[in-house]
Chains A and B, each alone.
Chain A
Amino acid sequence: MAGAFKLPFAGEEIVRALAQDEPDWLRDDRLTALAAYSDLPLEVNQLFTLYVDLRAAKWADIAPYQQTGAAPEVSTVVPEGAAALIEVAEDRVVARGLSDAARNGGVVIDTFANVLRDQPQLLRDAIDGGTTLPDNDKLAQFARAHAALGLFVHVPRNVVLEQPIVMRWSMGEPGRGLISRSVISMGENAQASVLEEQVASEAHPTAAEKQSLWWGTTEVRLAAGAHLSFAGQQDFGPSTLALVNRHATLERDAQLKWALASVGAELHKSRIDNRLVGRGAGVSQVEIGFGDGRQLFDLTSYTRHLGEDTTGDLLSKGVFLDRARGYFKGMITIEKSAKGTDSFLGEFAMLLAKAARSVTIPSLEIDQPDVRRASHSSSVGPIDENEIFYLMSRGIPREVARKFIVLGFLEPVVARIPLGPAQERLRRLLDAKWPSAEAQEAA
């Protein structure tokens, strides 16, 4: 198994070059990750059937950026209603700014390179040892070894940010790729929300001959009592490959909310790991994928309950048009130590075209029967004809009724996007998916 999957842009030489200006501990951390990447199988699986499908990726066509840095002019304007902004276009940081409230609270938002210069210990405390990424995931270990850019967000203890921190990425240069890490570290009782936007580069909004690649992480550490609400929108162009690992460690009474929407990219592979370590920690997660054309969304979610009285409420939803496919793999693991766990995982898909396909794999591994709830449920089906009939009886045309029902199915995620304009933008994105469905119906 090991070694069956190889990336042309991986290896010790590349890793050492990337680590050239970095401290020893970070270089060693990269090399450890490289060894893990080389040894791990692509899929750690308890199934009869392998399901990870990366055949759409033409790795040989892609040359990831090896040098990243700041653009000649970095904007410091913070958008209205936001606490901070950092924006990366292809391989350059083009904007970075903090509101007065954030700056006064001691919030950090910067690249690894700058943090290593200014407050190296802060970064080392957060990531050294690799505990912020899953040790059994080949792709996460690849990113840990080969990241060419790192972003670090730190909210000190007891700081409460009312307004969201915005992280914006644009990518799309044909034949290029960005491999990055993003680390969010929250002190005790800190509260914040993050909005991550991933969009196509302005120069390359449409399909290109060569693929581009965005490969990143979100590594979250929540100290006791910290609250984080993380909203993500992925709207890359149709020739982009998007691979992401999101991993969160929650200490006592920490609360995390994920609201993630994926609309763009040719291939979107995401894995979320929630580690509920401290007593009373809780995660709520809503994730949607809306695919058309030949898009493939692989949305994996692993939640591990270690502490007592931890809660997990995990929901994945997908709508698939044309020949789009969705793979939803979810796993709830309840360790022996996790008495009083309450965990639910739901995976629901709507197939709107004959050739669309959905695979759902909601799994449970339970070592502690003393739980409040440990269950999953999933369903796949067409739009309920009764609902269409109901709306039509109110004078709404059939096609509009279908669209309403689909948008209603996805609305729970939209409603969780923290910034008004961003929420509106996501609604427009979802709405814009629709015409191709009509084209499909007509065809």
Chain B
Amino acid sequence: MTTLNQRQMVDNDRSRFDFKDEIVYLTETKRGLTRDTVEEISAIKDEPQWMLDYRLRAYEHFLKRPMPTWTSGLEKINFENIIYYRKPSEREEKSWEDVPDKIKNTFERLGIPEAERKFLAGVGAQYDSEVVYHSVREELSKMGVVFMGTDQALKEYPDIFKKYFGTIVPAEDNKFAALNAAVWSGGSFVYVPKGVEVPLPLQAYFRINGENTGQFERTLIVVDEGAKVHYIEGCCSDSELVSIGDAMVPITEVAPGQKVMNSAGVEAEVSAVRRRSYVGDMLKIVPVSVGNAFEVTPEHPILALRRQRAAVWQRNKWIMDEASFHTSEPEWIPAGELAKDDLLCFPVAAKQVDHPEISDEMLRFLGYYVAEGSAFENGVNGAPTVRLSFNIAETDKVADARALMTALSGKKASVYEVPGKHEAQVYVYSRALMKLCVEQVGTGSSTKRLGSHLMELPPSRQQLLIDTYLLGDGSRYERPGGSSVVRAVTTSHTLAFQLQEIFARLGQYVGINVRKPFDETMPDGRLIHHNEAYVVHFVENPGNKYVWFDAVRNCFWVPIRKIESRPYEGLVYNLEMSSAPNAYLAKGFAVHNCTAPIYATESLHVAVVEVVALANSKVRYTTIQNWSNDVYNLVTKRAHAYENSTVEWIDANTGARTTYKYPSIYLRGRGATADIISVAVAGRGQHQDTGAKAIHLAPDTKSRIVSKSVSKDGGRATYRGHLKVAPGATGVVASVRCDALMLDDESRSDTYPYIDIAEDDTTMSHEATVGKISQDQIFYLMSRGLSENEAQNLVVQGFLEVFTKELPMEYAIEFNRLVKMEMEGALG
């Protein structure tokens, strides 16, 4: 769990979810959709004639039906490039052990059997087109509860299947329902007999593995009179946390249009993010600064100087020949052809902007603060406090810091000595100074980072901050021969790489080593735990240089210490830049846009879910959708609620490129209740077009719709709803509430409700608001020691709580984690 909360700083690495399996499919249809494709799918499944007829009718309708006029972006879907049916295994298994290993491994990595053991009544799993596994607890199956793949149900329960299939969502309902009806495969079938209450949730997992694959599952849930069930579906995904060097951006979250630093140390725009599956060796290039190690495929070009060209072989090692390295041209060399001691290019960031509002005194103070400081609201009286801690013997620093704090805050800073800890604390009560610390550096030793303004100041001004920082966190020891090593230790991962970038601009290449966590027993017997830390270090006046500054190219040349290789199987990423050079930074080093074959991919998820809730029954259907950002997610979900039944859609969308989904409930029986909670998080490049429909067709029915959306980083969240009270539906009570949160100026939020009331005794209320997070809230939380990102995350989680609190606990935790992942780096 914890690994997912931390940013992985490894290029082309894979994380827990993002991997692609090399499956040899037993059967797959040809790319594209024709009448033959439909007939072939039906034949493979050995279906009755009526189903084939139904599919063909739907296919004809799909061709005739125009795209809905109110959508946008769907015209980019190339229906001819999709593989409509892919079969990964022979049949649906009842025992987990019998599922083919490759597929089993996939789901095990997603934690599915684990979940089943713990708290589920039944589990189903679908891989591309086919359901590979279904199981239901024995006691439930004895009571007549059916939970199986939809294809299997067509064979085993033909009567009940035919009675309901396609009656809730007819093939002609909309273009995508027609597409699903034509090529559907897989999905879950649930039947709960009269009066049976399923005490635990039934769960289904869906995964799209193949590129350009469509998943068209079809789920049918029939809940008989007085019965009760909770069905949960997880659409699991590829969310990966890799990064591209010192910009600290997870590569999977990089989107076209975003700016990252290119190999010349200049910000440049990304024109495309490419991804491909890869099986083969993965190389780990470890430079002398081992903290900057990164992984690439062997064909990935990297800017380097051959050691033979720049150095001479003397006494068993390569010695840099400065004369020749200035004259030799660096080359883009495939990683697989690099060798130990070849030199990698570490560009110096070129952007410089002065911010006069940040004074020299502030910089000197912030240097101390980065090393030693804390900013918080005093626990006794809530006073805003800034405190720096020094060794009690460091009287010069104490005096300096005290003078700076007094000058900056306009209030007298005090010193408080704690002889037992050999500590002298300099503190001042000042909201303005606290705000400066929180905004420019943050709080918490492992989450401190330098704000973007600090990062782009001219080097002469950055030097001020570095000087006091080293006074605080730095140490120096003399080495024989007149050189000395300067080291500084920080537990902030981000800060370590930022320091490296600043030092480079100051003309000093610093190495980063990683110190493993360890426990230390102090002389007085106390046990102190040290977290993982990053040691930033450099040598002053070295006898032998080990890195070389290249003023012509404004970069450092850093030798490779070693190259490791390991077998790899999974997805790898690559960026294409919109301007030359088509190259970017991996852990600070220049790598070229990869020349290996690449293709843009997209996948289509077009599902239909039909729910029949007979009299007095209760159904809850929960979805956590987290498809990867190349999936078009176009889903028709509809339920018919009969007399006194209750249907609840609990629907969350955090993934997919484009989602069009509006869970609907037709209230057909007197006294039926509809409850729809829809939440959406739209990040970079995403459009979450979600909403809800409640159609009241019978008297005394109730509906409640709650929609919450968050848009950020240029994402777009749209609520589209339909509330209808038909003639004859007397005594209806209905409410619609839509709240939208926008986290930045680039994002967009729309609300389009449609409320049609045809009965005079309806009570309907609707409210919608759009706004941003209150800065007061953020500031308050930050003053309590949270980083800006954590504070924002907490506010967003609170905003979405109406959804989270409806989930079983395990899912609530999982969902909050997904939101947190979405929120990572929201502030750049």
Binding site for B on A (CB under 8 A): 1, 45-49, 51, 336, 349, 351-371, 373-382
Contacts and interface: CB of A to CB of B under 8 A. Distances in A.
B744 interface: yes
A371 B769 CA distance: 11
Interface in B764-792: 764-772
A98 B762 CA distance: 50
Given A351-B760, A357-B757, A381-B762, A370 B772 contact: yes
Nearest to A371: B771
A364 B765 contact: no
Contact of A48 (B751, B754, B769): B754
B722 interface: yes
Nearest to B733: A381
Given A369-B745, A369-B772, A370-B772, A45 B69 contact: yes
A376 B754 contact: no
Nearest to A329: B754
Contact of A380 (B722, B744, B751, B764): B764
Nearest to A1: B69
A364 B68 CA distance: 21
Given A45-B69, A355-B758, 6 more contacts: A47-B752, A365-B750, A371-B770, A373-B769, A373-B771, A378-B755
Interface in B736-761: 740, 742-745, 747-761
Contacts of B753: 360-363, 378
B70 A349 contact: no
Contacts of B70: 45-48
B100 interface: no
A205 to B, nearest CB: 29
A358 B748 CA distance: 29
B765 A379 contact: yes
B745 A364 contact: no
A375 B760 contact: no
Contact of B760 (A45, A354, A369, A376): A354
Nearest to A355: B727
Contacts of A352: 760
A368 B745 contact: yes
A358 B759 CA distance: 9
B757 A351 contact: yes
B694 to A, nearest CB: 13
A49 B664 CA distance: 15
A359 B745 contact: no
A361 B742 contact: no
A375 B745 contact: no
Main secondary structure of the interface of B (DSSP, over half): strand
B491 to A, nearest CB: 34
Contacts of B769: 373-375
B749 A366 contact: yes
Contacts, number: 133
Contacts of B745: 336, 368-370
A375 B768 contact: yes
B459 to A, nearest CB: 34
B20 interface: no
Contacts of A336: 745
Given A49-B722, A369-B742, A359 B756 contact: yes
Contacts of B766: 360, 362, 376-379
B228 interface: no
A370 B745 CA distance: 8
14 contacts: A45-B69, A46-B70, A349-B757, A355-B758, A358-B756, A360-B753, A362-B751, A364-B740, A364-B770, A365-B751, A368-B745, A369-B742, A380-B763, A381-B763
Contacts of B69: 1, 45
Interface of B: 68-70, 662, 720, 722, 727, 740, 742-745, 747-772
Nearest to A357: B758
A88 to B, nearest CB: 37
Contacts of B754: 47-49, 51, 359, 361
Nearest to A47: B754
Contacts of A353: 760
B755 to A, nearest CB: 5
B572 to A, nearest CB: 36
Contacts of B758: 355-357
Contacts of A367: 748
Contacts of B761: 351, 382
A382 B760 contact: yes
B732 to A, nearest CB: 10
A382 B762 contact: yes
B308 to A, nearest CB: 55
Contacts of A47: 70, 720, 752, 754
B809 to A, nearest CB: 32
Nearest to B758: A357
A7 B744 CA distance: 46
B757 A364 contact: no
Nearest to B755: A360
A147 to B, nearest CB: 30
Given A351-B757, A360-B755, A370-B745, A376 B762 contact: no
Contacts of B662: 48
Contact of A354 (B748, B759, B763, B772): B759
A379 B749 contact: no
Given A47-B752, A363-B750, A377 B757 contact: no
Contacts of A355: 727, 758
Contacts of B770: 364, 366, 369, 371, 374-375
A366 B759 CA distance: 32
A370 B770 CA distance: 10
> Which of A356, A368, A373, A380 has the most B CB atoms < 10 Å from its CB?
A380
Contacts of B765: 377-379, 381
A335 to B, nearest CB: 11
Given A336-B745, A369-B743, A369-B747, A380 B767 contact: no
A51 B724 CA distance: 13
B722 A374 contact: no
B369 to A, nearest CB: 29
A167 B757 CA distance: 36
Contacts of B759: 351, 354
Contacts of B752: 46-47, 361, 363
A363 B762 contact: no
Nearest to B711: A369
A377 B760 contact: no
B751 A364 contact: yes
A360 B750 CA distance: 16
A278 B771 CA distance: 22
A343 to B, nearest CB: 10
Contacts of A378: 753, 755, 764-767
A359 B760 contact: no
Contacts of B720: 46-48
B764 A381 contact: yes
A359 B753 CA distance: 10
B757 A359 contact: yes
Contacts of B748: 365-367
A438 to B, nearest CB: 15
B702 to A, nearest CB: 14
Contacts of B755: 359-361, 378, 380
A311 to B, nearest CB: 16
A358 B743 contact: no
A346 to B, nearest CB: 10
A336 to B, nearest CB: 7
B706 to A, nearest CB: 15
B160 to A, nearest CB: 31
B417 to A, nearest CB: 46
Contacts of A357: 756-758
Please name the 7 residue pairs, one residue from A and one from B, whose CB atoms are nearest each other, closest first: A369-B742, A369-B772, A351-B760, A375-B769, A364-B751, A357-B758, A380-B764
Contacts of B757: 349, 351, 357-360, 380
A365 B768 CA distance: 12
A368 B743 CA distance: 10
Contacts of A371: 770-772
